[in-house]
Structure 1
Amino acid sequence: MSERFIWVRPKAERALLSLLFFLSISLSACSSADTSGKLFLLKKQARKVTVVAHRGASGLAPENTIAAVKQALATHADFIEVDVHQSKDGQVVVIHDATLDRTTTGKGKISDFTLAELKELDAGVKHDSAFANERIPTLAQVIKAVKGKKKLLIELKKGEDGYYTGMEQNVLNIIREHKAEDWTVLQSFYDPILENIWKADFVIPTHKLIVGKIPFLPVYIDHTLKFGSFDKYSEAVAINIHRYFASKSFITSLHNQGFKTFVWTENKPENIKRLFELGADGVMTDNPELVEWK
């Protein structure tokens, strides 16, 4: 089925997007600020459900670093999630933002720096001085650290100035080189990135990231407001949604369309339990150490 497009005024679109993102950001702050600090035991489910360590165990160590990956490996998480960008010299590096300012001692766009220059920056000290000298890892370093002990969910990002040339193929090449095909999954908010992966001569599971869908309307939000159905994502295994939109009806609708869904990002163990009860197949959390299985 082809996607149907409906024209709306730019001001109306901006207003709706602003409202939705304000709601999701506000709810994110409320949920993430107060974790229980106690282990929360989840009963084994009749169906397979998945706990995902978001950016590694990013509540315990600097996000998207080897330290966070190692902490996540020691938890009961099934997946470790990381984000990737590409350096000036075409190296795939693990970091969330397209700029260095928030998480490292550097400033500016990742795409303006070579890997050697990025490796000079401290990616740990802003989290805690105990992690001083933690470096921005390459995707290859993360894959070597994980070694198939858990599955790896890799989110492909876009740069400040547009899409990275050849990053999708570079990621696939790294996965192939390290024989990680059986335990890696790729996800992205950006359709051109997913389409490039689907065109490649390499079969690997993919997830489509969105914020959520407006009830009763053919309208959804990924990195922008879009109109139409999810038919165009038929090659994806899952459509992953923000917890604000994780209603039982929406999750059931995704299941009925043949998609799984991993919900992002919930840090309270009791809310993780509730999301599984609503039907979520997976939940991403900064605090996988708080979750154990009975």
Structure 2
Amino acid sequence: MNDNLSPTILLIFLLVAIISTQSEKPISNRPFPYKIIAHRGASLYAPEHTSAAIEKAIKMNADYVEVDVQLSKDGHPVLFHDLMLDRTTNGTGPIYKQTLNELKKLDAGNWFHPSFYGQKILTLSEALERYQSQIRFLIEIKNPEMYPSIEKQLAKTLTKAVPKSNLNDIIIQSFDLDTVKRLSKMIPQLQTGLICNIHSEISQQEILKWAKHFDYVNPYFLTVNERLVNVLQQTGIKTFPWVIYHPETALKMFSYGVDGIITNDPLLKYTLPTNIQLNHNKETKSFKYHQQEDENLNNWSSFLKKIIRNCIDLLSRSH
């Protein structure tokens, strides 16, 4: 890398730090007709799956936090996306080869920015006990083929950490249909979701089959169109496409009639026009959901993020 770009790198780190510390009070809680699901927490602003990311999602008024769950070597459900520890911690190797005690010694924040040094890998139990009263959980069972006992461990954790009357607030999802069905049999109160593979083309017959078992079908956003959403809704299935990065994509998804979006940026809804007219299913949704202070926040956040993207583009062209 060119040494002359070091000021650019420093600028990126500075802007990330500014964004990550802005707005310590909750963002305005004005009505918004679609659910916002914070992908691994507010992972644009804080290291994914950490307390910092979940707390920022709460402050940014996300409706759900989406978390990935795997098992430690000694069988504890932990929040972690990758099979390997290397990308988001100072550890190495597969997560399933480390005990919970060993995982807790790792740093899970410094990779994102030094200001997050000291953030730890969370257990599912810790996350639920700390945050379930403030935000709902969309839990993805990650790599179930690696963990034969994961459904039993999740059932044990959920029944212990979540009051029975609140279990219906939890959505369990996976790419694996049978994994979700097994856990649903153990805890029937749970809502269930199927994630569609990134390359899948979804047929109407498949959707009708899924309707018997799932409350949600959550597809990769490039596979979503109005016909698909209409068929899902006709069978009583809701949908949260993933992962939405840009306002234009969010508007397109909303125009199809989706129930919400999964995004790294819970503030995305504040980047949309103040007046939106969306037509689907022969109905029109019109809403005005934020006022000047929200627009000021959005303008500042968008300005900083544009600078970061430009800096990253400059760095990528230097290689």
User: TM-score scaled by structure 2?
Assistant: 0.70
In the alignment, which of 231, 234, 251 is matched to residue 273 of structure 1? 251
Deviation of the 1:73 alpha carbon: 0.7
Structure 2 residue matching 1:263: 3-state secondary structure: coil
- Which of 91, 100, 105 pairs up with 1:106? 91
* Equivalent residue for 2:150, pick from 156, 159, 167: 167
Match of residue 178 from structure 2: 192
Equivalenced residue count is: 244
Higher share in helix: 2
Contact 1:103 1:124 (8 Å CA) reproduced: yes
The 2-side partners of 1:283 and 1:175 are apart by 25
53-62 vs 187-196, greater mean Cα deviation? 187-196
Within 5 Å, give how 1:102-181 maps onto structure 2: 102-158=87-143, 162-178=145-161, 179=163, 180-181=166-167
Residue 147 of structure 1 deviates from its aligned partner by: 2.8
Q: For the residues of structure 1 that align with 2:187 and 2:49, how far apart are their CA atoms?
A: 28
Q: 2:293 maps to what in 1? A: none
**Judging changes above 3 Å, is the alpha-carbon distance between structure 1 residues 51 and 196 closer, same or farther for their aligned structure 2 residues?**
same
- 1:257 paired to 2:235: yes
Equivalents in 1 of 2:102, 2:266: separation in Å? 32
Paired residues of 1:189 and 1:210 also in contact (CA < 8 A): yes
Question: Partners in 1 of 2:57 and 2:252 — Cα distance?
Answer: 22
More strand by share: 1
- Indicate how the Cα distance of structure 1 residues 201 and 154 shifts in structure 2: closer, same or farther if over 3 A, else same: closer
How well do the aligned residues superpose, as a CA RMSD in angstroms?
A: 2.6
Aligned-partner Cα distance in 1 for 2:123–2:209: 31
Which residue of the other structure, out of 73, 77, 89, is the alignment partner of 2:58? Answer: 73
In structure 2, how many angstroms separate the alpha carbons of the residues matched to 1:60 and 1:169?
Answer: 33
TM-aligned CA deviation for residue 169 of structure 1: 2.1
Q: Which amino acid aligns with 1:163?
A: M
How far apart, in 2, do the equivalents of 1:146 and 1:280 lie?
Answer: 26
- Could you tell me the percent identity over the aligned residues? 31
Q: Indicate conservation of the 8 Å contact 1:42/1:291, yes or no.
A: no
Shift of 1:258: 2.3
- The reply to whether residue 240 of structure 1 matches residue 218 of structure 2 is yes
In 1, Cα distance between the equivalents of 2:251 and 2:128?
29
Task: Label 1:251 to 1:205 Cα distance change in 2 as closer, same or farther (>3 A).
Answer: same
Q: Aligned AA for 2:217?
A: I
Matched letter for residue 189 of structure 1: F
Q: Aligned to 1:51, what secondary structure does the other structure show?
A: strand
Q: Is the 8 A contact 1:265 1:283 kept in 2?
A: yes
Q: Which has the higher contact order (CA 8 A, sep 6+)?
A: 1
Amino acid paired to 2:39: H
Could you tell me which runs of 5 or more consecutive residues in structure 1 were left unpaired when the two chains were aligned. Answer: 1-36, 220-227
Residue aligned with 1:266, SS: coil
